A and B are shown apart, each in its own frame.
Chain A
Amino acid sequence: MKHLAQKPFALIGVNIFDYEPKKLKEVMDKEQITWRSIASQAVTSRWNAGTPTYYVIDVKGVIRYKWVGSPGEKAIDGALEKLIRQAEIDAKSLRGDPAEK
């Protein structure tokens, strides 16, 4: 996913326990997790997530993919690339549309 660093993309982690930020940071350091995370049991149960669960959300905030258990790196990358490409095309056509100016 490193190649997505320059793209309109964010990886957000939700740790499934109720850790205070300090404890969360400790766990993340230990696990070498570098992406922004929160920790919440309430969010986990509301989103009906076990570990690992992945949700892919598009630029409009709509859930586009959901996987309980890893679908494989290829599937995740494929989904992200598809949505990012779509977002870039949409952004371009918006800029090109005189009605928007």
Chain B
Amino acid sequence: MRFIIPLFAFLGLDTAVRGAEPRAGAPETLAQEYQKVLKESGQVRPGFRDAKTDEERKQAVEATGEFARRFVKLAEKYPNDPMALEVVTRAVTTMNGEDSAITMSWVMNKSVFPSRSEDGAAAEATALLVRDHLRSEKLGVVVERMRYGTRQEYETFLHRVIKDSPHKEVRGMACLCLAQFLNSQSKRLDLLDVRPELAIRYQELLGKDYYERLQRKGRDGRIKEIETLLEQAAAKYGDVAMPWGGPVGEQASRELFELRHFGVGKPAEDILGDDQDGKPFKLSDYRGKVVLLYFWSEY
């Protein structure tokens, strides 16, 4: 081990570890402060996953929201630090974590339900990104994280990136990710058709204004907007490589195909095959019946 440590130091891989321990007397740096907050955020007990009661889950969600805010504040404090973008990205993923814990608690909780913190962290994070990082070629990382989020500020921000980023790679990712972001909000609202009791929850999650704006667009309006973005992603940014592999164009075309041929409101394509008894199966034989088609596996 003795030989390995200096090697890591040489490669600069130990900054995270070193950063965690502020040297006495030296002014704190963003790296040091960031490590400190990261460490604290990992030490919150119980976390959402080990929380046992509704109240504990609510507190875990609130703690997560609090850390998101702290990450934003940190990035604000060190606007010129090269690490600032990474810290805002962490704020975004932390907000995503907060939001997904909220939706999980709808299933798990019976009495109290956590709601999203109204602290403007998403607004501050995106304002910071516009002010300090809009021209960054590394913006794609945070753009990509936003597709998992629920905040209306992400929609506004992603539009801005498509318009103003000087990098084609970043614009392409923003275009695809905005379509995916809007698609997941649209799917949430679709669920209200069969679970109207979730309306109040979605109002809380998305914020009342944003919820109402999405509702006003209507399902057709939302899908049209998503299709337009996907068309644009396929046409203009087809060859842009995605960080997780494959070009944007391919992914956009796949999602367009799905919306157009396997989307809600489209006629189901026929399925032919052999069933478990070797008898020929044809989906269209079931015309006249309501069919629940369930894709399953034993794993």
Contacts and interface: CB of A to CB of B under 8 A. Distances in A.
B40 interface: no
B287 interface: yes
B289 to A, nearest CB: 5
B219 to A, nearest CB: 12
B281 interface: yes
A60 B191 CA distance: 21
Interface string A27-47: 110110101111110011011
Interface in B217-246: none
B268 A51 contact: no
A95 interface: no
A36 B286 CA distance: 12
Contact of B292 (A21, A47, A54): A54
Interface residues of A, number: 63
B118 interface: no
A38 B298 contact: no
B258 A55 contact: no
Contact size range, B:
35 or more
A72 B275 contact: no
A47 B289 contact: no
Contacts of B283: 12, 57
B264 interface: yes
Contacts of B288: 8, 59
A75 B289 contact: no
A80 B243 CA distance: 40
A10 B292 contact: yes
Contacts of A60: 267, 287
A22 B286 CA distance: 24
A14 B88 CA distance: 43
Contact of A9 (B277, B292, B296): B292
Given A10-B289, A21-B274, A21-B278, A61 B294 contact: no
B290 A61 contact: no
A51 B297 contact: yes
A49 to B, nearest CB: 4
Contact of A10 (B107, B194, B195, B286): B286
A62 interface: yes
Contacts of B191: 67, 71, 75
B46 interface: no
B195 A72 contact: yes
A96 interface: no
Given A61-B267, A75-B191, A13 B291 contact: no
A67 to B, nearest CB: 8
Given A15-B297, A72-B107, A21 B194 contact: no
Contacts of A63: 262-268
Interface in A43-101: 43-44, 46-67, 71-72, 74-76, 78-80, 82-84, 87
Contact of A36 (B254, B269, B275): B275
B292 A82 contact: no
Interface string B33-69: 0000000000000000000000000000000000000
Contacts of A82: 194
B17 interface: no
Nearest to A1: B292
Across the A-B interface, the 7 shortest Cβ-Cβ residue pairs: A38-B273, A78-B194, A49-B295, A21-B278, A55-B293, A25-B276, A53-B295
10 contacts: A9-B291, A12-B291, A21-B277, A25-B276, A44-B295, A55-B262, A55-B292, A57-B286, A59-B289, A76-B292
